[in-house]
Structure 1
Amino acid sequence: MFLVNWIYSALNALGLYNKNAKILFLGLDNAGKTTLMHMLKDERLVTLQPTQMPTSEELQIAGVNFKAFDLGGHEIARKVWKDYYAKVDAIVYLVDAADRDRFPESQRELIGLLSDDGLAGVPFLILGNKIDLPYAVGEEELRHSLGLAAHTTGKGKVALDPNTRAIEVYMCSVAKRMGYGDGFKWMSQYIK
C-alpha cells in the first residue's frame, strides 16, 4: 500500500490525477511483464505461465486510469505488437537483467520499436527486472547492452525539447516490489 500512496502523491503533484493512459507492456518472454501487471493490479506475487495471448487490465494506480496491455514476448507474439500501437501513451519495456544471453535479442526488438514511426514521440520506460538475482547486471551494463548509452533523457523531472522522445532505464525487482515505482513516476510526467 505504501507504493500506491507514494505513486498517488507523485502523480497528484504532477497534475496527472484522474487521467487516462494506454500503456503497452512489451519485452521478451520471461522478462516479468505479466508479473508486473498483476503486482500493479492487486499487489500480490503469483506464479504465472508464459503469456500465450494478448491480455489487458484496467488498472487504477493512484488516481490514474491505465489500460495496460500485456502482449506476450515469445517470437510469435511479437508479430502482433504493431496491432496495438494506435493511440498508445507509453511503452514499458521489460528486460530480464539476469539473462545476458538474450540481451542482443532484446536490443533488436527495442531498436525496432524505437525506430517504428507508429511509436514516434511515445515515451519509453525500460525496466531492467530481476535485480534481486545475484548474477543480474547493473544499470550501466544494461544501458550499454541495449545500445542506449547516449540515448536516454535523464531521471527526475526533465524538460524535453518537443522533438525529443522520453526514454529512460530503471532497474527493478518486481518480485521484491522495488524500483518500478520510480520508473512509473518518471514516465507519468510524459503522459499527455
Structure 2
Amino acid sequence: MFAVDWISKALPISRAKPKILVLGLDNSGKTTLLIILNRTSPLLATSLGPLVTIPTLSPSSTEFLIGDTVCDGYDIGGYLPNRTCWAQYTYDVSGVIFCVDASDPDKFDTAKFELDKLLVNENLDGVPILVFGTKVDAPKSVNEERLMQALNIGYTLKKGTAVAITNVSRPIEVFMCSMLSKRGIESGMLWLSQFINK
C-alpha cells in the first residue's frame, strides 16, 4: 500500500483530454470548424493562412480549447463509407458537435437519419450534442426553427434551461452559424463548455 501511495503522489497522473466528435454529412463544415477552433484557441493557434479544406477521406484530429480545457476534436468524415465507422469512435466521448448544412435541404433526411443513430447509441448516453446549422449566409439557408423541424429535435436546453423536456437523456442544442463570418460559433462552444468544463 505504501508503494502505491508513494508512486501516485510522486508521479503526476495524466488525465486524458476530453474527446469531442465533430460529425455531419459531407460538405457540412466539420473540417472548417476544427480549423477555426484551432486557430482561435489562443494557446494552440496555428499560422493564419488562407482557409482551404479538402474532403475528409480518413479520420483526423486536432486540439482546440473549450473554455479553459484543451480538447481533442475528431473529424471522422461525412461520406457514406466514413459514416459507417462513426460508432467505432463513440467510446469515452465528452461531447459531440453535429454539423448540418442549413443551405442544403435535400440532405436533411440523411442528416436526421445519422443524428438519430447517434441519439440511440448507448455509448453516447448523457453526452451533450451541439448541433451547428452551418452556412447560414448562403441564399437557400433555412432558419433554426425549420432545421429543428427537419431533424425532429423537439426540445433543447437554451442557456441551461430546460424547455419542454420529457425523458431527456442528454443535453442538445441547435446553434446557427457561419464559417465565413464565424457568427454563432462562439455561442455554441460556450454552451458546450458548461458540460465539458465540469
- TM norm. shorter chain > 0.5: yes
Residue 156 (structure 1) aligned with residue 165 (structure 2): no
Task: Please give the secondary structure, in 2, of the residue aligned with 1:24.
Answer: strand
Q: Which aligned pairs between 1:2-151 and structure 2 lie closer than 5 A?
A: 20-43=17-40, 46-148=51-153, 150-151=154-155
Using structure 2 for the length normalisation, give the TM-score. 0.81
- Bigger Rg over Cα: 2
TM-score of the pair, normalised by structure 1 = 0.83
- For the residues of structure 1 that align with 2:111 and 2:65, how far apart are their CA atoms? 29
Deviation per residue, 1:18-74 (Å, 9 max, x gap): x94210000000000000000111145612110001000122354211110000000
Structure 2 unpaired stretches of 5+: 1-15, 41-47
Distance 2:78 2:147 in 1: 19
State the one-letter code of the partner of 2:193. S
After superposition, the C-alpha distances for 1:101-159 in whole angstroms (9 at most, x for unaligned) are 000000000001101111111110000000011210000000000011x232x211337
Q: What residue number does 2:4 align with?
A: none
SS in 2 for 1:67: strand
CA separation of 1:20 and 1:162: change in aligned 2, threshold 3 A: farther
Question: Per the alignment, do residues 111 and 162 of structure 1 end up closer, same or farther by CA in structure 2, a change over 3 Å counting?
Answer: closer
Between the aligned partners of 2:192 and 2:147, the Cα distance in structure 1 is 19
How far apart are the structure 1 equivalents of 2:126 and 2:66? 23
Which consecutive residues of structure 1, in runs of 5 or more, have no partner in the other structure?
1-18
